[in-house]
Amino acid sequence: MSGIAILAIDGPSASGKGSVAQRVAEALGFAYLDSGALYRLTALAAQQTGVDWSDEDGVAKVALSLDVRFEKGLTFLAGQDVSTLIRSENIGVGASQVAAFADVRQALLARQRDFAVVPGLVADGRDMGSVVFPDAQLKIFLTATAEVRAERRFQQLIARGESADLAAITRDLQSRDERDAARKEAPLRQWGDALLLETSQLSLDQVVECVLSWWKTRTET
């Protein structure tokens, strides 16, 4: 990955890091990695093949053999467009469970690093700066309160025409936060060299502007 510029954005579920990372990647002309999609795809593939999400060995084998393709903003699993399916709340829960397994994370590590191409990459996830791209030029920990994140997720679901329970979403996010922070492998946290960006009171445009400003400062000094 020598010579390839990398901007890593980590943070909890529904913090908006995906939307921010996509916008920043487009502005910089960089490639984009949604690492969470790989864990969601692993959870979906396991479900489709009858592998229980608690079966670490089984899920790791599924992760190693994922037939995945990202194309024109769509995500394909074994040739099927699963772009919407992997964004369901159920698959989100599954992704959080399988992501706690060391063998699953190891199985997906090389695949994530393959996304680093010239001129650069913007990667978002839970451990982009700490594990996958520890030498990234800029690392950001992007977060917001659980209540704000739940409201954002609630609005996303309503906009897609799905039923949603705000209280249930809040509880689920809090549970995911606890599980992601407590896991032994690559726990979710702000690491020492990552800049904190709290977005509860910021619009998407404001967050993107801030990240681009930080990138400019970091790469021009």
Query: H or E segment at 115?
Result: none
Name the strand (E) or helix (H) holding 130: none
Q: Provide the annotated binding site for ATP.
A: 11-19
For residue 56, being part of any structural domain is answered with yes
Q: How many domains in the chain?
A: 1
pLDDT, one tens digit per residue, over 32-49 is: 999 999 999 999 999 999
Nearest C-alpha neighbor of 108 from the set 121, 134, 122, 127 = 127
Rounded to the nearest 5 percent, the helix, strand and coil shares of the chain are: 50, 15, 35
Q: Are strands 5-10 and 138-143 parallel, antiparallel or unpaired?
A: parallel
| Per-residue pLDDT at 2 | 59
The answer to whether residue 218 sits within a structural domain is no
Instruction: Judge whether 119 lies within some domain.
Output: yes
Annotated binding site: 11-19
In a domain, 213, yes or no: no
144 within a domain of the structure (yes/no): yes
Which stretches of the chain drop beneath a pLDDT of 70? 1-2, 221
pLDDT at residue 73, as a whole number: 77
Domain that holds residue 80: 5-200
The answer for residues whose C-beta is within 8 angstroms of residue 75's C-beta and 6 or more apart is 37, 41, 68, 69, 81, 82, 83, 86
- The pLDDT tens digits of the residues spanning 19-29 come to 999 999 999 99
* Identity of the amino acid at 9: I
Sequential DSSP letters for 16-53 = SHHHHHHHHHHHHT-EEEEHHHHHHHHHHHHHHTT--T
Residue 221 lies in a domain: no
Q: What is the CATH number of the domain that holds 28?
A: 3.40.50.300
Is 187 within a domain? yes
Residue 10: predicted pLDDT: 96
Q: Which helix (H) or strand (E) holds 95?
A: helix 89-98
Strand-pair category, 80-81 with 5-10? unpaired
Integer CA distances (angstroms), 147 to 13, 143, 151, 158, 167, in order: 12, 11, 6, 16, 9
User: How far is residue 154's CA from residue 144's CA, in Å, rounded to a whole number?
Assistant: 15
The pLDDT of residue 140 is: 98
Query: By the 8 A CB rule, do 13 and 173 touch?
Result: yes
90 in any annotated domain: yes
Structure tokens at 86: 């992997």
